[in-house]
Structure 1
Amino acid sequence: MTTTETTPKKFVNLFREPSNIDQVMAGPWVDIRVETVAEGESMDLESTNIEHAAFILGGSAILTNGDGKTFELARSSAFAIPKTGRVSIAATTELSFLHIEMRID
């Protein structure tokens, strides 16, 4: 009798499927995925029990932090939201970004 163990995939296409990073990596990873925000739409992110980091893949947006300061985002930009931080991202063109979430211990 043989048994087959299922192991998590180590390579995924983040444009097509979930990463399941928390099953592959031992660190504080919660998720890693590609997000899209349509032109004219916005997304709010807040770090309470999860911190966020992002790398812009394409498009453009205005990021407004919790203090009301604004920053332009474009391809190759990056941002991080530390514990207790919050931002609003308003897409000026369709925005695509790699979104990483990590647990705060």
Structure 2
Amino acid sequence: MAKYYVEIPGNLSLENQSKAIQGEEALAARFVGMHIWTNSNYLLTNLAEFEEIYVAPEKKLGTPKLSKTLPKGITPAWAGQMIEQGTALPQVFLIRENPA
């Protein structure tokens, strides 16, 4: 499966960044991870990594939601650092809601 990268602006809220991930996944892709990076305008932002999906997964991925806290008993799909509304966050979790 081919991987590709999408910039997700660091000036967005976690909710809007979650929607950006969901929108990209609607194009037959799966979120892999995210890194803080400096774009071509020398702004700190987020670089999300996606993997193209050629065959529908057996289980639906569920709606992606970025959160600063991890709910008890939930295993995150991803955890790492990122920029939210211009501020670096040391730990953010991506959880999946409503998996089928």
* Greater per-residue helix proportion: 2
Same fold by TM-score greater than 0.5: no
Q: TM-score w.r.t. structure 1 length?
A: 0.29
